[in-house]
Chain A
Amino acid sequence: MAKTDKNNASAGKGLGAKLAGMTDTNLLLTITIAVFFLLYIGAMVFLRSGFLKPQTFFNILNANAALIILACGMSLVMITGGIDISVGGVTALVSMCCAVYLDYKGGNVFMAVVIAILIGLAFGAFQGALVAYLDIQPFIVTLAGMFFARGMTTIVNTSPFNVENEAFVALKMTRVNVPGLGSVNKLGKYVPAYVEIGVLVALLVVIVMFVLLRWMKLGRNFYAVGGNKQSALMLGINVKRTKFLSHLICGLLAGIGGFVYFLHVGSGSPSHASGAEMDAIASSIIGGTMLTGGVGNVLGTFFGVLSLNTIQNIVSSVGFDEAWWTGITKAVMLCLFLVVQSVVMSVRKKRNAAN
């Protein structure tokens, strides 16, 4: 995938014919991946310092494993034509519940994972039922879901605290070395690059979702429902069930993502993952998923998360390290992508109409 887009980039603007032949999903995906590689290679060439170390890249992955999982769920719902803004709240609720369960109730890690998944599924099922079977706008339903999750988090426990459960801390500290990559530190010692367990989970989720969306019947149904509900209905697709399943899977992923987030930070707090839903939406959009439905790809979402965080790293290493630049950078990036998407799509629409 990366190869073709490099070819495209080198061909410059003369590749109109090739781009015009692509589907919407693939075109937006290509743009996203190209932008990510341009950003990262640009940073490596011009900024050098940290970006040449492989660990910098893997740190982006470590810090954003949960966001990748949340954004995958978000993309799925967006492809189906909905939205789920409760994922951040669910993440906070899951980490708080797991933290309380592990520390105060002396539970084991396996049951904590089960709790996380059950909470996610409960949110997904309830919201999905309201959206699909009662025809209520997904925005309002999941808005209420977000409120509920945030409120419940403080009802479960008001103050933030660190988890000291031994098995959990051991799991949190587990590092998987990346073969063949590493750097030499100041003392001349070779330090291999590592990723946390959460990253492996995130990669697994991306692969599963990619396979589901590309090659499985259910996955294609999501695109059909998001693209045109009416024709999907005429094709004999159970639109309501498909919508319900999209929210259910998104909820499941929010539960898993919540646990991965918890595994990364190792504490429970009502303010955890604040704004995560917006980051997930932004990543999905940068990754080429359109809110109108029917267009999108989790691979793009994956690169969307990476791009969003790479540019933040770049901005802070250039010297704009005051807190407010993070928000402004994110917004500028989102704005650029939205405008580019909108322009590209309208040009294509016009051309299609002319043909």
Chain B
Amino acid sequence: MANSENAKTSSASFLKNLVRNQCFIPVAALLLLAVFNLIADPSFFRITLGYNSAGNPVLSGFIIDIINNGSELAILAIGMTLVTAASGGQDISVGAAIAIAGSVVLRVLCGGNARPETLQAPIIVAFLVACVVAMLFGAFNGVLVAYFKIQPMIATLILYTAGRSIAAWINNNELPVISDPKFAYFGGFIPGIPIPTPCFIAIACMIVIGIVLKVTNLRLYTQAVGINQSSSKLNGLNPEMIKVLAFVILGLCVAVAGLIKVSRVSSINYSVIAKDIEMDAILAVALGGNALSGGKFNMAASIIGAFVIQCLTTTLYKFGVSSTALPAYKAVVVILLVVVSAPTVREYLNKISQKMKLSKEVA
């Protein structure tokens, strides 16, 4: 009798812990989407091995699409989570910054000529230059936020407004096209490997950030600054520095995402590349259950959140929603999510469940 009661309470507490875990909401959302797709059309999960135009084996299917296209978003979510945690605000310039980073990559590779026969510089050099540029822009945002105490959303509004113009200016408003097939590896497939390269890049980024968070004090310091800036200062941290660092790390993520984005098409369209991706990245962080007002964060939850967003996007595409109408559906999902996770609504739900329990006990 007592044993069964114990088992009951332990299973109940296990459930409670599961629900309390920050990864619960994004994983539940992912499962919900998966179940929905399973019921609506099981072919959603089919993965086929085919050959692309170059005769290399490639995997294709909706699941592969989600993992492939979600890579940039997951990479951005890493940086966005840190920025959100440290500064209590979001960077809305990532889309524009990706345009800049991509433009820099192409500019270095082309060396001023819009249709180069051969690459003018090694790809790694172009990528490193893009990293430096993107980190500088990140530092610019960070300095405005940390030292001039401008709200992150507004400080990054500057780069949001100027970014795509700067990107066009870097390449003299030309649209360079890279014909070297090697450049397309980063956004496509490496010959012989059927899994899209962006997945590997995203996994590499996740491993790096995982190690960094485990080995260094980055997590502790970022959370300390986000929770209470003045008390972190009293404890000997330099909150300004840490905020700038968060933005610089986001800059690095932007450079990686930018490389993938331009590599996908081997070219660039300044006004379309990475359009609205800032919104998706912020949503990924919010979906991960991280407080948008800063403080504690859960990196894994954010990354899962990114794939939830991508899964939703792909599902909607599959059901014939046009890309321009897509935002309306996304908005409905977002509103539902935030309403359910709003503290007032949760309290209300808790009260109801408690009342039900009470009435049960009385009975």
A residues near B, CB below 8 A?
Answer: 83, 130, 133-137, 139-141, 143-148, 150-152, 154-155, 158, 270, 275, 278, 281-282, 285, 291-292, 322-328, 330-332, 334-335, 338-339, 342-343, 346
B334 touches A147 (CB 8 A): yes
Contacts of A328 in B (CB 8 A): 162, 165-166, 169
Chain A residue at minimum C-beta to C-beta distance from B150: A338
- Chain A residue contacts of B168, Cβ below 8 A: 323-324
Q: B324 touching A154 by the CB < 8 A rule?
A: yes
Minimum distance in angstroms from B104 CB to a CB of chain A = 15
Q: How far, in angstroms, from A342 to B169 measured CA to CA in the complex?
A: 29
Query: Across the interface, which residues of A come within 8 angstroms of B166, CB to CB?
Result: 324, 327-328
* Chain B positions 269 through 296: 1 when the CB is less than 8 Å from some CB of chain A, otherwise 0: 0000000000100100010000011000
Asked if B264 lies at the interface with its beta carbon under 8 angstroms from chain A, I say no
B90 at the A interface (CB under 8 A):
yes
B322–A154 CB distance below 8 A: yes
Q: Is the CB of A151 within 8 A of B325?
A: yes
Residue interface bits B148-166, CB-to-A below 8 A is 1, else 0:
1111011101111111111
A91 to chain B, nearest CB (A): 15
Partner of A322, one of B148, B164, B173, B345: B173
Report chain B residues within 8 Å CB of A326: 165
Do A139 and B157 touch across chains, with their CB atoms under 8 A apart? no
Q: Are B279 and A292 in contact (CB under 8 A)?
A: no
Query: Cβ of A325 and Cβ of B165 under 8 Å apart?
Result: yes
Which of A135, A144, A278 contacts B157, CB < 8 Å?
A278
B155 touches A147 (CB 8 A): no
Q: Which chain B residues border A323 with CB–CB below 8 Å?
A: 165, 168, 173
Q: Is the interface of A mostly helix, strand, loop or mixed?
A: helix
By a beta-carbon cutoff of 8 Å, the part of chain B in contact with chain A is 90, 144, 148-151, 153-155, 157-166, 168-169, 173, 279, 282, 286, 292-293, 322, 324-332, 334-335, 338-339, 342-345
Bound CA span A35–B264, Å = 45
CA distance A135 to B335 in the complex (A): 13
Is there contact, CB below 8 Å, between B153 and A139? yes
Question: Which of chain B's residues has its CB closest to A155's CB?
Answer: B325
Among residues of A, the one whose C-beta sits closest to the C-beta of B89 is A139
Residues A147 and B161 in contact, CB atoms below 8 Å apart:
no
- Judge whether B157 and A334 touch: CB under 8 Å: yes
The verdict on A139 contacting B335 (CB below 8 Å), with A148-B328, A155-B325, A327-B165 known, is no
Q: A140-B292, A342-B148 are in contact. List 17 more A-B contacts (CB 8 A).
A: A130-B338, A135-B344, A137-B292, A147-B334, A150-B328, A151-B326, A278-B161, A291-B151, A322-B169, A323-B173, A324-B173, A328-B165, A328-B169, A334-B158, A338-B155, A339-B150, A343-B148
Going nearest first, the 8 A-B pairs with the smallest beta carbon separation are: A151-B328, A327-B165, A331-B162, A324-B165, A148-B331, A147-B327, A147-B331, A151-B327
Q: What is the chain B residue whose CB lies nearest that of A150?
A: B327
